[in-house]
């Protein structure tokens, strides 16, 4: 993944960012946070980069980053792949025990 701040200052594009609350699978988030931390970038910057690449049908990651993703998936027990993207359902919360 190319760090977003490596470009020349003349290539910078002013944008307006908004704060959002997004629900995301817990282990997937952990892998994304780990990848962002490894590349010394914010989670938001990582997501923007991945989505912009996806919109053009490109992979946002090089071979080294893909190896890191595989390692992080093992660490966080993330067994999901792209085939799960429209099949995930929310677990029902555990019932609280009364004491």
- Give the model confidence (pLDDT) of 52-99 as tens digits: 999 999 999 999 999 999 999 999 999 999 899 899 898 887 766 665
- Number of other residues whose CB lies within 10 A of the CB of residue 1: 21
Q: Are 24 and 13 in contact (CB under 8 A)?
A: no
At 5-40, the pLDDT tens digits run 555 667 899 999 999 999 999 999 999 999 999 999
Nearest in space to 28 (alpha carbons), one of 69, 86, 87, 83: 69
Across 41-78, b (16+ Cβ under 10 Å) vs e yields beeebbebbbeeeeeeeeebbeeebeebbeebbeebeb
Q: How far apart (Å, rounded) are the C-alpha atoms in residues 51 and 40? A: 18
pTM, to two decimals: 0.79
Residue 78: predicted pLDDT = 97
């Amino acid at each position: 993944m190319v760090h977003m701040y490596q470009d020349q200052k003349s290539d910078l594009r002013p944008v307006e960012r908004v704060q959002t609350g997004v629900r995301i699978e817990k282990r997937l988030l952990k892998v994304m946070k780990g990848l962002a931390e490894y590349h010394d970038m914010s989670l938001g910057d990582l997501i923007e980069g991945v989505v912009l690449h996806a919109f053009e049908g490109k992979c946002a990651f090089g071979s080294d980053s893909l190896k890191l993703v595989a390692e992080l998936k093992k660490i966080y027990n993330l067994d999901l792949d792209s085939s799960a993207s429209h099949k995930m359902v929310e677990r029902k919360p555990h019932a609280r025990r009364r004491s």
